[in-house]
Structure 1
Amino acid sequence: MSNNGDSGNGDQSAAAAAAEEVKVDKWDGNAVKNSLDDAVKKTFTDTDRKLKYRENHSLVDTRLAICVTAVGAAMFALVWDYMRPFPESRPVLILCVIGYFVLMSILTAYTTLVEKGIFLRAVQTDANGATKLWTLSSMLKRFDDIYHLCIEYKAPNGRVAEANLSKSIANWFDTDGTLLYDKFESEVLKLHDSLLSDKKNK
């Protein structure tokens, strides 16, 4: 009976490992970058991992607010034109169209100048209730195999430090395109811990 139970547990562990396995086309740069970004996010925020930080959604919420406002302007133009057919609706349509393109320009500037490749902001709260902000951004250029990861740490006193990692993706994927998560996570944690050790030394 115990052998059957052990076998069942082994099957469940194998199934769980298979479910967590990430496999991508190594020649698809976007898929590779996204899988690595997701792995970093999991390392920082997953409750089953070491850090268990809380994700800060402010960047995404701002982007969504701009998009929703732009779509709202377009929908209002449609409804207004239905209620007051052209040409009576022309002034409102002109304002809505201008507003839509202004908001799209703001969105482009926001994603380019503010987000700048940031895929995660995580909040760490210590035993004293002080909050520390971790900002993570990445880049993988087209037709390049070097993945660049930047981790920025902002202490409660406003002091900022950052650490960077630049390595070939071949270090973290096997020949079949399966992500070697444990190996990648150890490097991410090493980068994370280097910032904390710098803080202690200062």
Structure 2
Amino acid sequence: MSSKAKRSENPGKDEEPVKINKWDGIAVKHALDDSVKAALMNRTNMKEHHAIVDGRLLICALAVSTALVAHIYDYQYSFPASKPVLIVCVCVYFFMMGVLTIYTTYVEKGIFAVGNQKDEKGNHKRWQASSDMKKYDDKYELTIQLRDSRGVREATVVKSVANFIDVNGTVLDDLVANELNRVVNSLNADKKDK
């Protein structure tokens, strides 16, 4: 979360509304993502699923471990002797950064929240929320995907950020939650053959 927009870590307590610089597109997108995630995770029987973030953390940990191996080896055996190990470590590090780029582009695809839900009938549902906001544009594109026994369905909403942020830069969490509930209800009601 951006340092410009802080949200309380204890849901249910009296939270201060999130205030952001409404002209900072990145801060606006992150604040709206946080609001959508909070609304999605507050749904009945919803548990956050961390596998996508864990994958990114694993790739980063491998890259940092490679850099750490290079540093320790170079400390033990000064430069001329450590040259082959440093070359291998640098190549592995850049390879891992390429893997990370591919992972964030093709696996994460802007997904910022994944939740597993078990409904009253015992059916399992997986919800994914992803977003996009172009630079210098006021349109916030939110995509919600549902995977359940009936298949995969998704809905996309494109609205101006002015629908969710007031003139003072305060994120209106109730309006975000209402829009999310509308999309979630429409996906729950969808038939598989649509």
Provide the residue aligned with 1:181 in structure 2: 173
Whole-Å Cα distance in 1 between the matches of residues 90 and 50 of structure 2?
29
Alignment of 1:49-198 (within 5 A): 50-156=43-149, 159-198=151-190
Select the residue among 18, 38, 46 that pairs with 1:42: 38
Q: What corresponds to 1:12 in structure 2?
A: none
Instruction: Check the 8 A contact 1:124/1:131 in 2, yes or no.
Output: yes
The TM-score, its normalising length taken from structure 2, stands at 0.88
Maintained 8 Å contact 1:134/1:151: yes
Quick check: 62-71 or 175-184, which moved more? 175-184
Does the CA contact (< 8 Å) of 1:151 and 1:163 recur in 2?
yes
Aligned pairs (5 A) from 1:23-34: 23-34=19-30
Runs of 5+ unmatched residues, structure 1: 1-15
Q: Distance in 2 between matches of 1:120 and 1:95?
A: 36
Secondary structure of the residue that 1:89 maps to in structure 2? Answer: helix
Q: Percent identity?
A: 46
The TM-score normalised by the length of structure 1 is 0.84
Q: Which runs of no fewer than 5 residues in structure 2 stay unpaired?
A: 1-12
Give 1:91's aligned amino acid. Answer: P
| Kept in 2: contact 1:120–1:137 (CA 8 A) | yes
Which structure features the higher share of helix residues? 1
Higher relative contact order, structure no. (Cα contacts within 8 Å, ≥ 6 residues apart): 2
Displacement of 1:44: 1.1
CA shift at 1:20, angstroms? Answer: 3.0
Alpha-carbon distance in structure 1 between the residues aligned to 2:103 and 2:110: 11
Distance between the aligned counterparts of 2:97 and 2:162, measured in 1? Answer: 37
CA deviation profile, 1:110-164 (whole Å, cap 9, x unmatched): 111111111011111234543211111001111100100000111135x100011
Task: State the shift of 1:21 in Å.
Answer: 0.5
Q: Which AA in structure 2 matches 1:164?
A: T
Question: For each residue in 1:4-50, what CA deviation from the matched residue of structure 2 results, as whole angstroms up to 9, or x when unmatched?
Answer: xxxxxxxxxxxx65x3311111101011111110111101113xxx4
Counterpart code for 1:195: L
Q: Per the alignment, in what secondary structure is the counterpart of residue 20 of structure 1?
A: coil
How many residues are aligned here?
A: 182
Q: Hey, what's the Cα distance between the residues in 2 that align with 1:200 and 1:99?
A: 45
Asked if the contact 2:45/2:118 (under 8 Å) is kept, the reply is: no
Partner residue of 2:9? none
Is the 2:40–2:180 Cα contact (8 Å) retained in structure 1? no
Contact 1:135 1:151 (8 Å CA) reproduced:
yes
